[in-house]
Structure 1
Amino acid sequence: MEMNNTCLDINPQLEKYYLPTMYGIEFILGLIGNLSVIWGYIFCLKDWSCSNIYLFNLSLTDLTFIFTLPMLVDYYGKGNEWTSGQVMCVVNRYILHANMYTSILFLCCISFDRYLLVMRPLKSHFFQKKWNAIVICLGIWIFVTLELVPIFVFIKDYDANGTDMADCLDYASSGHAFRSLIYSLFLTAFGFLIPLGIMLFFCIQTARGLKKIQQQRTKIQVEKPLTLVILAIVIFLIFFTPYHLMRNVRIASRMKSNSVSKCGKLGVKAAYTITRPIAFLNSITNPIFYFLLGDKFRELFFNKLKSIFSRKAALRE
């Protein structure tokens, strides 16, 4: 480890060992999980509900992100040496952020759908119609793409002569610090905090509804859906909150007008680096929710696998 003005700088070690390891784990587990779910939805599930449509789109955005991880593993493993060109750097960072913010919005849609199923089980709502769900998913993709257009400008970094640098730096470490901070705060508010508030509201209302059903002493089992509601919001907070907090702190620490010491800046950068892979662990946990949310889907998935293996065994005999 390097000593810099009596400061312990662990950033080179985090970038060389921690980031490639975490992204490598996310790639392997996320690829297996999301491919399994997409295969299950296409070949096992014939009658799709609006909830299935939201979950399928969530899996698609996770899988798109998963395919960008090998480039990040290679980049950080080689000591921040980007070999895929500036265009691929921008595309990679765009996909990374698009995955995060589309995932958040799809999770909001799923929480609202759960709320309607619990609180308004006998009514058919506009939101729960299949074609409307498809339109909403398309709208989410368009909205997030428009929301992230500035990424194509802010993601760049410049040297003293204004020439593009070869490094593919992350968003919080690149570009003009003040402008990047303003945009980061915008993303935090509209991409995270507002959806978080919406998700919290519907999760709390859903939990209250399930508790009320439980108090009525009916034969309906509510323990599992209640646990899923609580687990969903806890995971949401743990994964996304530290990243958004530290991203803004990291950008603010780069501003020339601040009074943060060099040691403080190194500490902020290290904390921010730690939160980055954590924010994308949802690409691993989301497939687990697919199986937990629906006993029918899980049963169809494993029945399909059994039929395939049985068919192969019969052909060998």
Structure 2
Amino acid sequence: MESGQSAASAEESALDQPRSVLLPGHDVPLGRYSVVRRLLPQRDLRMVGAWCFVDHFGPDDVHDRPGMQVAPHPHTGLQTVTWLLDGQIRHRDSVGSDQLIRPGQLNVMTSGHGIAHSEQSPQPHPPLMHGVQLWVALPRAYRDREPAFDHHPELPAWTDGPVTVRLLVGELGGLRSPAVVHSPLVGAQLEFAADGELLLAADPCFEYGILALSGAAQVADCRLVPGALLHLAPGAAQLRIRGAAGSRVLLLGGEPFDEPLVMWWNFVAGSHEEIVRAREDWMAGRRFGAVCNDPMDPLPAPAMPAVRLKARDRHGRGR
């Protein structure tokens, strides 16, 4: 009996404590009026699954400011995933989309071989702006596909005790998101109405990234507050997440992405040459098209670096 209790305790401890590292973010200007906390990519960890870019912005008081004002710019080789907690953003792109996104709704834009878009707070707009902008790297087989845009006004959700889970991407809790992605991924927001914890079944083949969007959370012996990303290595069968009342936590996960990639400016590609061609096409007005109904001038691409861009794996090692 005593031996059995000890084994069970050890098993629970192992499930609650996958190998982990806490990665602090850093502030990056976005457009003329916004600053974001960039949590991915980082020097030693460029991706969590195919999630290759995580920007957390706000909460910002924008009642007397223009809010988000990001002029038309290009993308290749990725999907953008936009999730708001507060505020509104008007998305416009070169495939004809003109969509206002509100909290609880999801925008997924698939760049394929090339798309241009802009993101701006409408005028007038709500007083607070808070959310995340995520990128998903497309596998090589989907990198040259036609661009597309999808807006999902409703998403699967369920409540477990004090915690409400909203499923952004993938499968979790027996539910499946309507968002189309092209590699094994999951994304979900956990909202704590009161102090409590949630035990989630995890995929042992997935690695996970967890960040507090507001409030505070606890995963094993790691306390999470806004501004850092907790990376959990593959191998866990369960995730135990504790949260304080009013906290909102973002869970991202996926199978480790093995393709080496070049990520530069707004482009994701397989080689230096692909990046050069994308930049040249953007500056020459080729490939990407014009963003519909947007009067702002397109953003010029920065100059290429003096050194050759090297494809790197998920840990930043060149190949």
TM-score (normalised: structure 1): 0.28
Q: Work out which structure has the larger RCO, using CA pairs closer than 8 Å and 6 or more positions apart in sequence.
A: 1
Query: Where is the strand percentage greater, Structure 1 or Structure 2?
Result: 2
TM-score, with structure 2 as normaliser: 0.28
Bigger proportion of residues as helix: 1
